[in-house]
Amino acid sequence: MLDKTDDVSIAAESWLAQFESAIAKPDESWLKPLFHPESYWRDVLALSWNLQTLNGADAILRELKVHAISAAPHGFRIDPDRAAPRRVTRAGTVSIEAIFKFETAQGRGSGILRLIPDAADDNRLKAWTLLTALDELKGFEEQLGSSRPRGQSYSRDFRGPNWLDLRKAAIEYADRDPAVLVVGGGQAGLAIAARLKQLRIDTLIVDREARIGDNWRKRYHALTLHNQVQVNHLPYMPFPPNWPVYIPKDKLANWFETYVDAMELNYWTRTEFESGTYDEENGRWSVVLRRADGSKRVMHPRHVVMATGVSGIPNLPDIPALKNFTGTVLHSSQYDDGEAWKGKRAIVIGTGNSGHDIAQDLHSSGADVTLVQRSSTLVTNIEPSAQLAYAAYNEGTLEDNDLIATSMPLALARRSHVMLTEQSRNLDKDLLDGLTRVGFKLDYGDGDTGWQFKYLTRGGGYYFNVGCSDLVATGAIRLIQFSDIESFVADGAQMKSGEHVAADLIVLATGYQPQEVLVRRLFGDGVANRVGPIWGFGEGQELRNMYTRTPQPGLWFIAGSLAQCRINSKYLALQIKAIEEGLLPPSA
């Protein structure tokens, strides 16, 4: 039994030693005294080969014993190269937090242990949360540091092809197919391709845009990232230390080009993924790619990674009367800059980030702007409120903070975000009161869990205020409710009150279709039905079909913010490598 102690390092080391001893015992009774009744275990591939979370000591003990038999975890010890054990507050609970390392039969891993006293057992310190995460596979470590590559492309062969010759040949794929085809060249595609490169898996990125980075570069003129630079690094190559706190879209787009070159990623621009069918017998895809010149190339990768983020298919709501409008109608994806609309009248439908940013851009360009709200929206000031969720990234190492983010089970993450949402509401009270006065419909997410869970469940429905909410609250940008519109007419909108809202431009800031729509279009009904919903939370406590094996062998999904892609690309790549080396079956 773990003794009570005020020495956080001794407490953590003692628990890990007892855990390693108990997990090797033939029954779970040795483990039971180590776990708090309210405990959580998140395993990211290390023991279960899945991304999974279990709640409650009884459920944890059953699963731990099952997986320990095959995984043979051992060597649990505090990692001297990470943050030292300390007292922290997570989800409102004070705990001892320790980062440790360990090994399994097939790999090496990192974990986080949090200890709290059990009041029902004389306040003995027991595990409240436990993370076990796979870092690398034994014998298949990444080519980093002392393992830097020394292959032909880096040799001094004066009579043979040089590095550039070999890079051009590798990118052409004239005589081979890639093992992995990544569809989409934004942060998700770059992150997973970079991880696979370090694991020596032949990977090709295809993207329909003309230039690397265009998925950011071609978005509306004023766009800047809404979270801060220290959160947003890509794997292996952090942004330079002189970069601004909030990265402009074109600066990020140019960095993507630099990243592809520096990381030696194989990337085809102007390439459309048209279709894919899976050969069950041979475990390969047949995919059709259409190149810039209209020619088609059929490839047979073993894995297809969909890294398209949002589907790329605009969500165009059914507004029958909109056909009456004779002005210009644009989806937000088509909007570029407000200068062309100076002195004109614009209606922007949608009150998420894009809708607000476009309305503010039009207003700043001298347009008369009306913002139309279709449903309640969460609003939070970009500073400090929207950054509260990333407070940990202001101190410590990126590696430690990514592991901390990975370690939070869903239930505690929700609890944390309820607290953050309440804090932000208090900080933003004056702004929110001003919006309420002009009729803006506010919400704070399901169960008041805030903007991040809106993102994780529906991909939007919130706005980080960088000034547009102030313009709405003061009436500089007019607000109307979609439900108050009687009909659209040739020159604008006719309100139920009899008022007429004139417009030359209507922007539909109405988001995008879900990923399932794109999967059905590209792979057919059979694959789409087999995979099921993508993103959001179902019955489990992990994002559905994200970063992990899906019911369709060889089909993977990665999406999210730069931080999510950086963190989870590591685990997705390890699964693909394990399948390639015969350590893991190809489907869940």
Identify the bridge partners of residue 500 per DSSP, sorted by sequence position: 494
Considering just the CA atoms, what is the radius of gyration of the chain in Å? 26
315 in Cβ contact with 513 (< 8 Å):
yes
Nearest in space to 203 (alpha carbons), one of 259, 268, 298: 268
C-alpha to C-alpha distance for 31 and 54, rounded to whole angstroms: 15
C-alpha to C-alpha distance for 203 and 183, rounded to whole angstroms: 11
66 in Cβ contact with 123 (< 8 Å):
no
Q: 């547009």: which residue's tokens?
A: 468
C-alpha to C-alpha distance for 549 and 429, rounded to whole angstroms: 44
Alpha-helical regions (H) of 428-553: 429-437, 450-458, 468-474, 515-523, 525-531
Phi, psi of 253, deg, nearest 5:
-60, -45
CA triplet 347, 350, 354: central angle to 5 degrees? 100
C-alpha to C-alpha distance for 558 and 294, rounded to whole angstroms: 28
Q: What is the pLDDT of residue 179?
A: 98
Identify the bridge partners of residue 116 per DSSP, sorted by sequence position: 126
Q: What is the pLDDT of residue 213?
A: 96
3-state secondary structure 161-214: CCHHHHHHHHHHCCCCCCCEEEECCCHHHHHHHHHHHHCCCCEEEECCCCCCCH
C-alpha to C-alpha distance for 248 and 250, rounded to whole angstroms: 6
C-alpha to C-alpha distance for 545 and 552, rounded to whole angstroms: 10
C-alpha to C-alpha distance for 359 and 468, rounded to whole angstroms: 7
Q: What is the pLDDT of residue 418?
A: 97
Q: Which amino acid is at 110?
A: S
C-alpha to C-alpha distance for 240 and 233, rounded to whole angstroms: 10
| Residues contacting residue 354 through CB under 8 Å, at least 6 positions apart | 220, 332, 509, 511
The string over 303-327, giving b where at least 16 C-beta atoms fall within 10 Å of a residue's C-beta and e elsewhere, is: bbbbbbbbbeebbeeebeebeebeb
* 470 three-class SS: helix
Tell me which residues of the chain have a pLDDT lower than 70. Answer: 1-6, 150-157, 310-311
Q: What pTM does this model have?
A: 0.94
Peptide bond into 514 cis (omega under 30): no
Using DSSP bridges, classify how beta strands 284-290 and 272-279 pair: parallel, antiparallel or unpaired.
antiparallel
Phi, psi of 433, deg, nearest 5:
-65, -40
Q: What is the pLDDT of residue 154?
A: 58
C-alpha to C-alpha distance for 146 and 515, rounded to whole angstroms: 40
Q: What is the pLDDT of residue 202?
A: 98
Phi, psi of 481, deg, nearest 5:
-95, 135
C-alpha to C-alpha distance for 200 and 318, rounded to whole angstroms: 47
Q: 């989806």: which residue's tokens?
A: 331
C-alpha to C-alpha distance for 338 and 332, rounded to whole angstroms: 12
Which letter does DSSP use for residue 314 in this model? B
Q: What is the pLDDT of residue 151?
A: 61
- Token digits for 410? 């869903």
Mutual angle of helices 429-437 and 410-427, in 10-degree steps: 80
C-alpha to C-alpha distance for 556 and 498, rounded to whole angstroms: 52
DSSP sequence for 91-123: TTEEEEEEEEEEE-SSEEEEEEEEEEEEGGGTT
| Residues contacting residue 194 through CB under 8 Å, at least 6 positions apart | 234, 235, 236, 259, 263, 265, 569
Q: Which domains does the chain have, with CATH numbers?
A: 8-137 (3.10.450.50), 163-312+514-580 (3.50.50.60), 320-508 (3.50.50.60)
